[in-house]
Amino acid sequence: MKVTVVGAGAVGASCAEYIAIKNFASEVVLLDIKEGYAEGKAMDLMQTASLNGFGTKITGITNDYSKTANSDVCVITSGIPRKPGMTREELIGINAGIVKSVSSSLIEFSPKTIIIVVSNPMDTMTYLVHKSTKLPKNKIIGMGGALDSARFKYRLAEALGGPISDVDGMVIGGHSDTGMIPLTRLATRNGVPVSEFLSEERLNQVLEDTKVGGATLTKLLGTSAWYAPGAAVSGMVQAILCDTKKVFPVSALLEGEYGYNDICLGVPVVLGKNGIEEIININLNDAEKATFEESAKGVKAVNDLL
């Protein structure tokens, strides 16, 4: 199994590292436009192979897409990251051109690949790949919900004072500070609703902290986070290549699901060898439906900028 990661910055290198360490892919190609940069990152990562006990081959390439040929999954992380005070939406002017060019180049050499989009604004970049390529809808996936849900579970475990392995929760909607919807009503601690343990006020704090999870890290780090995004991508790639049928919330093109059409939004799906195997319809209550509608309006407004 071959995976290509485009963009050898912090997020791309983190993706490559986690995929390699999990040892389910035979090769990871790391590609960047900057001369020698991907080669250096790949060499550094390969020098951890004997220490971390993986057999995955990591190859670094400078802008030669022919070396990505026959990739089973391609991950697009390229584009400029957020800086403190920036919204994800502000990146569209630069990143749209990059993502469109990169996806076209990948498909030229891997026409049957599955594409995972990480570049921001992620829902709109995922929509752009749908509109600018001829890949079937199940083979174009936006990463955001998997990351946002991990951040949600972190905040829940923090509030509960328990292990994160006890916690289950999901974030749907747009991958933005205002658009994401942590489903506190459905979150559980070993099958027990978290509302049994946490007050409504504390749960609302968890919700708000989750929504600004990316902005909080950007303020602290001076740029976008990379460890959790890389881990989220590696989990999705593993589910696809190992055909695990694991459920992730991802940005998927909706065609009637949840009452929406011609828009990419975060919803739970089953991931397997065909990419998105199934979109799962959750029964949302009236408040959640209203929030989902507002989230969709926000994503549509950014899509219109394309």
Residue 72 annotated as part of some ligand binding site = no
Residue 93 annotated as part of some ligand binding site = no
Residue 138 annotated as part of some ligand binding site = no
Q: Which one of the listed residues 130, 175, 189, 211 is annotated catalytic?
A: 175
Q: Which of 58, 68, 62 minimizes the C-alpha distance to 110?
A: 68
What are the phi and psi torsion angles at 118 (to 5°)?
Answer: -115, -30
Are 132 and 104 in contact by the 8 Å Cβ rule? The answer is yes
Nearest 5 degrees, angle CA 46-CA 52-CA 53? 90
Residue 88 annotated as part of some ligand binding site = yes
Residue 11 annotated as part of some ligand binding site = yes
Residue 191 annotated as part of some ligand binding site = no
- Tell me how crowded residue 131 is: count the other CB atoms within 10 A of its CB: 14
Q: What is the DSSP letter of 65?
A: G
Residue 123 annotated as part of some ligand binding site = no
Are 80 and 95 in contact by the 8 Å Cβ rule? The answer is yes
Residue 95 annotated as part of some ligand binding site = yes
| Cα–Cα dist 304/124, whole Å | 9
Coil/strand/helix, residue 139? helix
Residue 66 annotated as part of some ligand binding site = no
Coil/strand/helix, residue 305? coil
Q: Which of 288, 286, 295, 296 minimizes the C-alpha distance to 260?
A: 296
| Cα–Cα dist 288/172, whole Å | 10
For every residue of 96-129, DSSP letters joined together read HHHHHHHHHHHHHH-TT-EEEE-SSSHHHHHHHH
Classify residue 277 as exposed, middle or buried by CB count within 10 Å of its CB (0-12, 13-18, 19+). middle
Residue 148 annotated as part of some ligand binding site = no
The yes-or-no answer on residue 130 being catalytic is no
Residue 53 annotated as part of some ligand binding site = no
Classify residue 113 as exposed, middle or buried by CB count within 10 Å of its CB (0-12, 13-18, 19+). buried
Q: Which residues are annotated as a binding site for substrate?
A: 82, 88, 120, 151
- Residue list, annotated binding site for NAD(+): 7-12, 32, 95, 118-120
What residues form the annotated binding site? 7-12, 32, 82, 88, 95, 118-120, 151
Active site residues per annotation: 175
